[in-house]
Amino acid sequence: MTFSEFPYTRPDFIQFKKDFQQLVSSFSTSTDVNELQSLFEKIYSMRRSFDTAMTIVSIRNSVNTADEFYEKEQEFMDENEPMYRDLVMQVYKALINSSKRNELEKIYGTQLFMLAELSIKTFSTEIIEDLQKENQLTTEYTKLLASAKIEFQGNTYNLSGLVPFKQSEDRNIRREAHAKSDNWFAENHQRLDEIFDELVKLRHKMALKLGYKNFVELGYARMQRVDYNQQMVSVFRENVRKHLVPLSSELKHRQQNRLSLSDLKYYDEGIDFKTGNAKPHGNPDWIVNHATVMYDELSKETGEFFHFMLDSQLMDLVNKPNKAGGGYCTYLSSYKAPYIFSNFNGTSHDIDVLTHEAGHAFQAYRSRNLTVDEYLSPTLEACEIHSMSMEFIAWPWMEKYFEEQTEKYKYAHLTHALMFIPYGVAVDEFQHFIYKNPDATPQERNAAWRRIEKKYLPLRDYDGNNYLENGGFWQRQMHIYRSPFYYIDYTLAQICAFQFWKKSRENLSVAMKDYITLCDAGGSMSFLKLVELAKIKSPFEEQTMMNVMAEAKSWLSSVDDMKL
């Protein structure tokens, strides 16, 4: 079947709950290991059916947020997902309290039990209504951004559609495109503030109900972080400030020189070269055709995976009206099928997002036969190693897309990967401020963002734009609303991905062997154990960051960027 043929019927949640609880009850009382394994499989089969229904709704709703049928189904899922989560917690409690726990740990691995114990600490029936409200608010945020209709140069664009104009060689066009986008956020800032204010207070209330001091602790538990903590993250951010912020500033000065500008404004940051950024030399179908050749040539495993994605039509790549912003990979567990969503807009980002999400999807495809659903995907900072590393592993094939502009692409890709990290840790520090100060006003939040932004992005110049000068930029960062504390993950993974970049340039076959080993492990280990399995160094070690920065700086210094 292709994705369009995947059937969807709204689950009868009352009957589902009844059948599910009967299985959990039998599991809780059984002392026979063979029977427990049989019940485990039946429980997980039911979980897969409900998870798949939720995922189908989520995909079809994000592909077209104006589709009334899937809008209603998303509302149904937003309401019922917390009650479904309660059922999963009942499974976890039955697992960790089983009289045969030791035998089950030998069968399913200790990671499942660690995740179960941590997950239980993030949930109580007391917070079901709060979780329903949280789902409704994050859905509203996504729909609000997707609804943007911005008039520009005689046409109407959504936020993704404006991106190519923000990268124009003409500074006036760049400035105007940014102004149009910024004005949309400024005009909608009050509702954006209200949504976020409700989310912060809601999350803080849930944390207190669950016995936490604030949502920071609950947020870390929800992200299932078992082998690092707030202190380690704080040290990591400080290492970024010490070692990466100066390099990022240096790269911005080089960009300013290449563009022959007396000053670099925020609307100049997206343009890397006077002659324009590298762009793929074909339309979306042409890009996918070249990607097919690339993955066939990269390895037997990646070729098999990509043909599966094509044959089952498991990608929706092109920007269109009412489509949610951004890009993601998700997984349809009943079909053992990953799914890639993106918004191609004719820029080099089309290649970045395709290789990035294909990295996620390849891992999901490789892990699809693991017997424990919790192992189908690792925690998110490990997930981002798969995606970010794939962006660099694909470098030898970039000439297929960019031809004579390949060196331009590689220079910009590496530069932006480096310069992203200070922004990423700024988002993380901002979220720590937010949830440690849940009663802060919108103005106080904006002031905190601007203060943190200046710490990690000291050269950012908003050219007198009031909305941005007053700290409004963070409102466009979807993760801050939808996925609290999911942003440091990108920065940790980026340090790991740079190590795969080095490996792949030295010996691509060795790099691919380690990469596939990492993907095959799925989520059967914690983050730092997966890092060790992949034969790379922990991003929390200062020396790792220093070595990565030295390697990247050496490569960039070898390029005469003024000639690009």
- Could you read off the pLDDT of 302-360 as tens digits, one per residue? 999 999 999 999 999 999 999 999 999 999 999 999 999 999 999 999 999 999 999 99
Q: What is the pLDDT of residue 132?
A: 97
Find all residues with CB under 8 Å of 511, minimum gap 6, and list them. 393, 500, 503, 504
Q: What angle do CA 426, 431, 436 make, to 5 degrees?
A: 130
What pLDDT shows up at residue 243? 96
AA letter at 84 = Y
What tens digit of pLDDT does each residue of 240-281 get?
Answer: 999 999 999 999 999 999 999 999 999 999 999 999 999 999
pLDDT in tens, 252-263: 999 999 999 999
How far apart are alpha carbons 414 and 552 in whole angstroms?
8
If you average pLDDT over residues 117-126, what whole number do you get?
97
Which phi and psi angles does 60 have, rounded to 5°? -65, -30
Q: Helix, strand, or coil here: 112?
A: helix
Q: Positive or negative CA dihedral for 215, 221, 222, 228?
A: positive
Task: Give the per-residue pLDDT at 362.
Answer: 98
Report if residue 99 sits inside a domain.
yes
Distance CA 281, CA 35 (A): 58
Residue 85 resides in a domain:
yes
Task: Report yes or no: 485 and 223 within 8 Å, Cβ to Cβ.
Answer: yes
pLDDT (tens digit per residue) in 123-165 = 999 999 999 999 999 999 999 999 999 999 999 999 999 999 9
Residue 41 CB contacts under 8 Å (≥ 6 apart), including other chains: none
- Structural domain includes residue 78: yes
Measure the N-to-C terminal CA separation of the chain; round to a whole number of Å: 46
Residue 284 forms part of a structural domain: no
Residue 215 counted as domain residue: no
Beta strands 328-332 and 315-318: pairing type? unpaired
The pLDDT of residue 287 is 98
Contact 175, 267 (CB under 8 A): yes
Looking at the structure of the chain, the number of domains it has is 1
User: Could you give the angle at the alpha carbon of 482 between the alpha carbons of 425 and 82, nearest 5°?
Assistant: 135
For strands 337-344 and 150-152, give the pairing.
Answer: unpaired
Structure tokens at 182: 């910024």
Distances (CA, A) of 367 to 28, 213, 227, 521: 28, 37, 22, 7
Exposure letters 257-267 (e unless 16+ CB within 10 A, then b): ebeeeeebbbb
Residue 122 lies in a domain: yes
How far apart CA 240 and CA 498 sit, in angstroms, is 15
Could you give phi then psi for residue 446, rounded to 5 degrees? -60, -40
**Tens digits of residue pLDDT in 58-117:** 999 999 999 999 999 999 999 999 999 999 999 999 999 999 999 999 999 999 999 999
In contact, 340 and 270? CB cutoff 8 Å: no
Structure tokens at 418: 């480096």
pLDDT number for residue 453: 98
Q: Which two structure tokens, joined as six digits, stand for 375?
A: 């192992």
92: tokens are: 């976890």
Can you name the residues that pair with 338 across neighbouring β-strands? Answer: 331
Mean pLDDT for 213-239 is: 97
Bridge partner list, 559 = none
Percent of the chain with pLDDT over 70: 100
CB 7 within 8 A of CB 335: no
Q: Quick one: CA torsion of 476, 480, 481, 486, rounded to 10 degrees?
A: 130
How many Cα atoms within 13 Å fall on the side-chain side of residue 266? 19
pTM attached to this predicted model: 0.96
C-alpha 328/C-alpha 501 separation (Å) is 22
Bridge partner residues of 344 (DSSP): 318
Confidence class for position 299, pLDDT limits 50, 70, 90: very high
Contact (Cβ atoms closer than 8 angstroms) between residue 76 and residue 70 = no
What pLDDT is attached to residue 50?
98
Mean pLDDT of the chain: 97
How many residues make up the chain in this entry?
564
- Are 287 and 280 in contact by the 8 Å Cβ rule? The answer is yes
- Please work out, in degrees rounded to the nearest 5, the angle formed at the alpha carbon of residue 354 by the alpha carbons of 134 and 336: 65
Domain assignment present for 428: no
Residue range of the domain that includes 100: 3-134
Q: What is the pLDDT of residue 240?
A: 98
What is d(CA 336, CA 366) in angstroms, rounded to the nearest whole number? 10
| Residue 126 domain-assigned (yes or no) | yes
What does the pLDDT read at residue 334? 97
Of 429, 456, 449, which is closest to residue 243 (Cα–Cα)? 456
Question: For residue 169, what are its two tokens?
Answer: 């060689």
Helix axes 349-366, 380-393, angle to 10 degrees: 120
SS3 337: strand
Token representation of residue 486:
């999911």
